[in-house]
Amino acid sequence: MENLIFIPGYKEALMILIGFFLIWVCVRKNYEPLLLLPIGIGIVLVNLPSSPLRGEDSILALMFEKGVKNDIFPLLIFISIGAMMDFKPLVQRPWLVVFGAAGQIGIFATTILAVVFGYSIRQAASIGIIGSADGPTSIFVSSKLAPELLGLITLAAYSYMALVPLIQPPIMKALTTKGERRVKMPVSTFVVGRTLEKLFPYIILMVSGIFCPMSVPLIGFLMFGNILNTSGVTDMLAKAAKDYLSGLVTLFLGIAVGSSMTAQSFLRVDTLVIFFLGLFAFAFSTAFGVFLGKIMLLFKVRINPLIGAAGLSSFPMSARLVHQIGQEADKTNYLLMHAASANVSGQLASVIAGGVLIDLVMKYAPAEGFSGNSLQMALKILLLGMGRVFFIMAVVSLLIYGARALFRNKES
C-alpha cells in the first residue's frame, strides 16, 4: 500500500487546503481571479506528495527561475498595463502628482517597521514594496533584494490589492468629516491633444532614465506599452498587449509564484508578520494621503481630502472608491476624474519608488551580510527615498505644464 497511496504530510495537506481556499475565493468572491487562481493551482501542484512538479528540474521550477527571478514575467505584464492605461487625467491636472508621491510613504515607513521586527535591510525593503499596491513592482523589487520572500510578498501584494475596497473606505471615513468629503473641486477645461498624448510616455521615460536609472526596466516597459497604444500606427500590437499578452503572462506568473510556496517556505511565523506589515503599508499610505489633503485644505487649497487616498497604485479601484465616498456625502460631487489623476500618478510614482528603493538599498546595504545599524539605515532610506520620489514627480509635473503650454492649440 505504501507504493500505491501517497498521502501528504499535515503541512503539505494544509498548503493544499490553502491553495483550494484561494481558488474558492477567486471563484465565489471574484477577488483578483486572474492571478490568485493560478497561484492557488500552483500551490496545490507543488505540495502534492511525490509529485514530479516538486523537483528542481520541473517545468514549474523552470518557469519560476527563468520567468519570475529573471523579471521576464513582471516586465511583460507592464507592457500590457501601459497599453491599457490612459494618462490624460494626469495631463489635465499635473499638480495632483503630489498625492501620487505621498502615496508611496507606506513603502518606506514599512521598511523601518520591518527592520524593527528583525528583518535585514534587503528583506525589509522587499516587504515594504507591498505598499506600492502594484503586483509587478513588488515582484520586481523582491526578486532583486530578497528572492527567498518572493512568494509570500507576491501573495500579500495581490491579496491586499483585491481587498482595497475593504481597507481604504473605513480609513477615509474615519479621518474626514462629512463637510470635508463634500468639498467640490474645480473642473479642468484643458483638452489633451493627440500630440501631447503621444509625447507623454517619452517625457516619463527620459525623466526616469535621468533621475532614477534603476526604474528604467519598469518605466520603460510601461511606457512602451503606452506608446503602442498612442502612436496611432501600432493598433494591432496594442490590441495584442491588452487582450492576449496580459492574460498569457499572468497565467504563467501566477502558477510559477504559487509553485514557490512549499510547506517549508510558507508555514512560518514570517507569513503572518509579512501579511501584517503589508496591511500596515496600505493603511499608512492611505492615511498619510488623506492627512496631506486635509492640511492643504486648511491652507485654503480647494482640495477634497479624499483625493489623497487615490495616490496608491491600485488603479482604478482607489479612484472609484474616492468618487463613491464623495457621492455618499453629496450626490452632486463628482470626484472621479480628479481621483483618477492622483491614481495614475500613483501608478507612476510606485514604479519610481521601486527603482529608488533598489538603488538606495544596493548603495547603502550592498551585501547580504550588511552589519551596520539597520534602523538608522532604514530611516535614511525613508528620507532620501521620499525626497527623490517627490522631486522626480515634481519634475514630471513641471514638464507636463511646459508641454501643455507648448502644444495647447496643436493637434497631430
Mean pLDDT, residues 371-392:
88
Displacement of CA 360 from its chain's centroid (Å): 19
Res. 367 pLDDT band, cuts 50 70 90: low
Residue 36 lies in a domain: no
* The predicted structure's pLDDT at residue 369: 52
CB-based contact 128:242 (threshold 8 Å)? no
Q: Is 5 in a helix, a strand, or coil?
A: coil
Statement: residue 152 has pLDDT above 90: no
CB-based contact 312:346 (threshold 8 Å)? yes
Rounded (10°) CA dihedral 49, 53, 55, 60: -140
Number of domains in the chain: 1
Displacement of CA 97 from its chain's centroid (Å): 16
Residue 22 lies in a domain: no
CB-based contact 160:167 (threshold 8 Å)? yes
Statement: residue 384 has pLDDT above 90: yes
In whole angstroms, give the CA distance from residue 218 to residue 327: 35
Residue 50 lies in a domain: no
* The predicted structure's pLDDT at residue 409: 55
Cis peptide leading into 316, omega within 30 of 0? yes
Ranges 171-175, 274-278, 369-373: which has the least confidence: 369-373
In whole angstroms, give the CA distance from residue 320 to residue 298: 25
Statement: residue 372 has pLDDT above 70: no
What are the tens digits of pLDDT across the range 47-65?
998 888 887 888 998 998 8
Statement: residue 1 has pLDDT above 50: no
Statement: residue 412 has pLDDT above 50: no
Res. 366 pLDDT band, cuts 50 70 90: low
- Burial profile 125-162: b = 16 or more Cβ within 10 angstroms, e = fewer: bbbbbbbbbbbbbbbbbbbbbbbebbbbbbbbbbbbbb
Structural domain of 166: 58-407
CB-based contact 141:129 (threshold 8 Å)? yes
The number of helices, as runs of H, and strands, as runs of E, in the chain is 21, 0
Residue 44 lies in a domain: no
Mean pLDDT, residues 184-189:
85
> Taking the CB of residue 56, how many other CB atoms lie within 10 A of it?
7
* For the chain, percent of residues with pLDDT exceeding 70: 96
Residue entry with cell 514549474: 60
* The predicted structure's pLDDT at residue 368: 55
* The predicted structure's pLDDT at residue 44: 93
- Closest-CA residue to 249 (of 353, 329, 406, 136): 136
Mean pLDDT of the chain: 89
Residue 17 lies in a domain: no
Displacement of CA 213 from its chain's centroid (Å): 19
Q: Which residues contact 387 (CB under 8 A, 6 or more apart)?
A: none
C-alpha dist (Å) from residue 40 to 22, 174, 237, 257: 5, 35, 31, 9
What are the tens digits of pLDDT across the range 294-314?
999 999 899 999 999 999 988
* The predicted structure's pLDDT at residue 2: 55
What's the DSSP call for residue 9?
A: P
Residue 52 lies in a domain: no
Residue 34 lies in a domain: no
C-alpha dist (Å) from residue 202 to 199, 219, 389: 6, 10, 19
CB-based contact 122:365 (threshold 8 Å)? yes
Residue 326 lies in a domain: yes
Query: Hey, what amino acid is at 294?
Result: K
Q: For residue 170, with 0-12 CB atoms within 10 Å meaning exposed, 13-18 middle and 19 or more buried, which class applies?
A: exposed
Tell me the three cell numbers of residue 73. 514575467
Mean pLDDT, residues 344-363:
93
Mean pLDDT, residues 243-248:
91
- Most confidently predicted of 29-38, 149-158, 181-190, 198-207: 198-207
CB-based contact 236:80 (threshold 8 Å)? no
Largest Cα separation within the chain, whole Å, is 80
